[in-house]
Every structure is written in structure tokens, then in C-alpha cells.
Amino acid sequence: MEKKNIDTEILNKANIWLNGNYDQESKAAIQHMISNDPQELIESFYRDLEFGTGGLRGIMGVGTNRMNKYTVGMATQGLANYTLKMFPELDQISAVIAYDCRNNNTYFAQITADVLTANGIKVYLFDELKPTPELSFAIRELKAQIGIMITASHNPKEYNGYKVYWNDGAQLINPHDVNVVAEAQKITDIDDVNFKGNRSLQTSIGEEIDKKYIAAVKALSLSPEIVKKHQDLKIVYTPIHGTGVKLVPMALKAFGFKHVYNVAAQDVVSGNFETVKSPNPEEPAALKMAIDKALEIGADLVMATDPDSDRVGIAVRDDKNEFALLNGNQTAALLTHYLFIKWKEKGLLDGNQFMVKTIVTSELLIDMANKYKIDTYDVLTGFKFIADIIRQLEGKKKFIGGGEESYGFLVGDFVRDKDAVSACAMVAETAAWAAEQGLRLWDLLKQIYLEYGFYYETLISVVKKGKAGAEAIQAMMLDYRNNPPKSINNSDVIAIKDYQKQVYFDLKNNKESKIDLPKSNVLQFFTADGSKISVRPSGTEPKIKFYFGVKTTLEKVEDFDRVHTQLKERIEKIIESMQLR
């Protein structure tokens, strides 16, 4: 592709960088792309990296559509402007900044700190990498007005990101999210960004916050006496090169577990994630080294957290004494089951408790809550919406726990985001509680299915990268919305939930009703045979996600394998009928 064939708008944006107050290294990279890699130039400049409602996330590099000093600086200037407007009564506004193991993380964290302090905002900057939930905790502990987490979560190594939190310790929601975005969009010239930080307004934090956070996690324990009896439970844990390397073992030790084994090669903090293709605990390959270690030492439980330690994947011993990977719905079911039983045993249920899940998470959690007469709330995908319900009900009702299918769970309310540190400790405690009854977690899961029905869920993601991919995903959603399937896997579609239109279509009775949730580009199809299919573009990755949920009865434990196979086959037929294979 020659220069003359590159879109004029893209060339104009590149020329702004070539002629503006940008560093020479960036300018040289742009010149190289123009001469040698015009496709990369297009991908780097075809749009501005969105400072969306969850912050920034993108590939690191030069250009308006990349994570770099300038896109981070402009976003931070917009955030600073909005924060100063929102707290005019305060003599000193403060922010907390944390970062994970990503490449350039201390660099981006310091740029963020410099822009904030240059605007008169006091910054508490962690002295080393820390989990996202600890950032949430620190915001509330230090009574800060905002927080920023430099992370791209489980994205591939070329990505980085920037998540923004408000003074309640939760990620931004309406109206703050859209207002911060609006302020950031006003910063159209790099000369509008004040990069000249005031280091006298910057304070280093670390160990003291660690101790307070771990103390809060320890207070969640519901069965300390049972943990003491089963303290020799063998646990293998891997942080997959990320922030859990220090805090998760600390939490397990605080709970009383004596035999926690790390995977040495994955304890190495690295943004290159050398030992895995993807640092995502949803991917079986990410847990392979930990499972190998567990087989070697005869461990009972395997746990892995993603780079910023807000999500956890687990593997448990099955009937063949081999390790079976549990999905996020199954882990949430085990934790919810344990929490509800212990709260009831301790006489803590008085009808004033609640749990929250996301709309794409298993309906099994609703069935559990109904049994114990615990209020339930379904929210849009994203833990910030769970945190919003907690905030709304603070002082009115008591939050027990809640989660989402994407391996995120939260116990207690001192953190306002998913928390893999406390989740790891509670999974281990649940395993100890099961052991007290002569059960493994795998057996406990079967007991849950016997009682409530065998729920089986899975998802597939269709990746569509770059400009063409974004357009293809948009076209797919438009087609599903305008031409919804009449049947899926030979079962009639009897209801549709369109969260963009905020309408529930009851096709069986030809009725419509309003969905009382914020607008979101999500569609759900419900079929006559009880299947639930959800479709949504990812808000953080170049993919469109399809969630599948089916259910049947499990009459006896001996039927588990047969019924499990039937449900898996049913989902495969759904996928085939939707032409996704």
C-alpha cells in the first residue's frame, strides 16, 4: 500500500504527531510506518483509543489508537479536570494508583501520577505491583476521591490498560463514567496536558495497606475451626507472573493453610508471560504447569489468578483422582452454596441479606438464593454494576457475595470489585469444609446439582481484530437484532431480551415489558426447551462473545457423567444451529 493510497484522515492524524510536541522516537516510528508498514499506520491511527466507561485498554505503541504516554496523559488530564470539578469543597483531592506486571506499567503509572500532581491532586502510588482489589480497598481506606489501576487484565502481552475508580472503591458508572469520557474527549491537543508533575504531592504506599487488606480478608473466614482441622490441605497456586504472587499466599496463610505450593517459574513477575500463551485463568493451558505440580506433590486443589488478581480459575480432583477444571459459574456456585449454608448455621440470615450476579451468569445462583430467601439482583456484565448495587443498599441490606461467569467473585463489601485474593482463601476454606464431610469439591458440586438441577454453561468467543473486525462485530449484532432467530436447535425462541432497546419481548404471549437496566449492546434468546443464549461484544477485547446455558435434572450422582455429556452435546447442537462452528 503506497502513501497515496492511505486514507487522508489517517495521514492527517499522523502528521499532527509528526509536527506536534511529541518525542522524536514516536515521530521516527510514524515515519517508518508511512514508508514501510502502512497497514500498521492505519491500525495505529484509524481511531482514537477510546477512553470508555471502564477506562483505556489497547495495544502499546505509537498512535492515537495505542497505549502510550500521550493517550494516557490526555485521558488523565480529562480525569483530573472532572475530579477537580466534582470536589470543589475539598482542600486536597487525592488519588491512589496501582499497577500490575504489564510491560511499561511503572512508566504509565508515573505518567498518570505526574499529570495528577501537576493538577494539584495528591497521589498515593503503590511501591510495587498490587492486585486490583487491593487498589479498591486502598481508595476507601485512604478516603481518596479516585483510583487508577494500570492493567490490561488477562489480555495478551502487547496490551496495557487503565481502569478508573471513584471514591466508593468501584469502577466508574453513570454519570461519572460518561462525564469523565466527555472531559477526556475535550483534550484534543497534547499541549493541553500538564505532564510536569509535582513530586511533593506524591506519596509511596505498600506494606501498611497490605496488612490492613489481609486482615480484612481474614475476617471473612466462616469456619476457622474447620480450617484448623484441615490445615494440611495441599494447595498449588500460580499468579501467572502477576500481582497475586505475594498477596494470595499471605491470605491463605492468614486463613490457616500450612501447605501452599507456588509454581516457581510463574512466580517470576513478567509482562511477557513467558510460560503461557495467554495469562487467562479461563484457558486450560494457563493452569497446566500448576496442575503438573499438583500431580507431582499429590495436592488437593489448584488455583490460578490473572495478572491483576481479580479473577481466579480452579482445578479440583474428580472421580478418577485427576484434575478437572471448573468454570466461573461452577466456582461461583460452590462459594455461594458454602456462604449461604454458613450464614444460616450462624443465624445471620434475617431476610435482610442479598446477593448479586450478572445477566450472563448461571441462574443456579438465583435458585440457591430463593431457597434461603435471600434477595437477588441481576445486573449487566461488569463488576462495576455489582458494586453499584452494594453501594445503593449500603446501610440497608447486607451483601453476602456475588459474582460473574468470567471467573470473578466477591465476598464481603470492603472491596468493590471482583477479588481473587479473598476468593482463593474462600475456595480453600470451602474445600476444607467439604473435607470435613468426607467430600471433595467435585463431590460437593454434584450435591448441588442433585438439589437444584444440573446447570451447564459455556461460552465461545469469535475474535475479529482491527478496524475490519470491529465493523464485522457491529454488523453481526445488527443482524441478530433486526433478524432474530425464530428457533435455535429446533426449539422455538419464546423470549428475547434486548438490553440496547431495554425491552423484554415475550414472544409466547405477544407481550413487551421494560428492562430496568442501563442500555447495553447485549441480546439474550430464551428457547422453549429452557436454553439461554446471550450475545455481546466484549468491551475490552476485539471479540464477540456467545454464552450458552442449559439445564436438566440430575436424579442420582451415578448419572453425572451421562447427563454432563448430554448437556455438552446439547450446547454443541445449539452452536451448530447458530452456525458458529
**CB 427, CB 180: distance < 8 Å:** no
pLDDT digits (tens, 9 = 90+) for 195-230: 999 999 999 999 999 999 999 999 999 999 999 999
Query: Closest Cα to residue 421, out of 223, 249, 271?
Result: 249
If you average pLDDT over every residue of the chain, what do you get?
Answer: 95
Question: Per DSSP, what are the bridge partners of residue 301?
Answer: 235, 316
First CA to last CA across the chain, in angstroms? Answer: 33
- Write the CA distances from 578 to 5, 171, 471, 490, 495, integer angstroms: 38, 34, 20, 11, 17
pLDDT confidence of 181, banded at 50, 70, 90? confident
Q: What is the mean pLDDT of residues 500-509?
A: 96
Query: Closest Cα to residue 78, out of 115, 131, 24?
Result: 115
| Phi, psi torsion values for 261, nearest 5 degrees | -115, 125
Residue 437 buriedness (CB in 10 A; 0-12 / 13-18 / 19+)? exposed
pLDDT digits (tens, 9 = 90+) for 450-497: 999 999 999 999 888 887 888 889 999 999 999 999 999 999 999 999
Helix ranges, 349-419 (H): 364-371, 383-393
* C-alpha grid cell, residue 396: 440497608
- Write down all domains in the chain, each with its CATH number in brackets: 1-44 (no CATH), 47-205 (3.40.120.10), 222-438 (3.40.120.10), 455-577 (3.30.310)
Q: Does residue 3 have a pLDDT over 80? A: no
**Predicted local distance difference test score (pLDDT) of residue 306:** 97
How far is the C-alpha of 512 from the C-alpha of 510, rounded, in Å?
A: 7
Query: Closest Cα to residue 311, out of 484, 100, 104, 471?
Result: 100
Q: Does residue 154 have a pLDDT over 90? A: no
pLDDT digits (tens, 9 = 90+) for 368-420: 999 999 999 999 998 999 999 999 999 999 999 999 999 999 999 999 999 99
DSSP code, position 157: T
* C-alpha grid cell, residue 294: 499438583
Q: What is the mean pLDDT of residues 150-171?
A: 94
**CB 144, CB 124: distance < 8 Å:** yes
**CB 527, CB 497: distance < 8 Å:** no
pLDDT confidence of 2, banded at 50, 70, 90? low
What is the pTM for the complete model shown?
0.94
**Predicted local distance difference test score (pLDDT) of residue 470:** 85
**Predicted local distance difference test score (pLDDT) of residue 4:** 55
DSSP code, position 65: T
- Local structure of 17: helix, strand or coil: helix
pLDDT digits (tens, 9 = 90+) for 5-61: 678 899 999 999 999 999 999 999 999 999 999 999 999 999 888 876 678 899 999
pLDDT digits (tens, 9 = 90+) for 403-414: 999 999 999 999
Name residue, grid cell 439461554.
532
The DSSP string of 225-273 is HHHHHTTT-EEEEE-TTSTHHHHHHHHHHHHT--EEEE-HHHHS--TT-
Whole-number CA gyration radius for the chain? 24
* C-alpha grid cell, residue 28: 521516527
DSSP code, position 461: E
**CB 511, CB 556: distance < 8 Å:** no
Q: Does residue 315 have a pLDDT over 70? A: yes
pLDDT confidence of 540, banded at 50, 70, 90? low
Q: What is the mean pLDDT of residues 358-367?
A: 96
**CB 361, CB 329: distance < 8 Å:** yes
Catalytic residues: 153
Q: Does residue 567 have a pLDDT over 50? A: yes
Which residues make Cβ contacts (< 8 Å) with residue 471, sequence separation at least 6?
none
**Predicted local distance difference test score (pLDDT) of residue 24:** 97
pLDDT confidence of 1, banded at 50, 70, 90? very low
How far is the C-alpha of 404 from the C-alpha of 381, rounded, in Å?
A: 8
b/e 125-138 (16+ beta carbons within 10 angstroms → b): bbeebbbbbbbbbb
| Distance of alpha carbon 413 from the chain centroid | 17
What is the enclosing helix (H) or strand (E) of 341? helix 328-345
Q: Does residue 353 have a pLDDT over 60? A: yes
- Pick the more confident residue, 580 or 444: 444
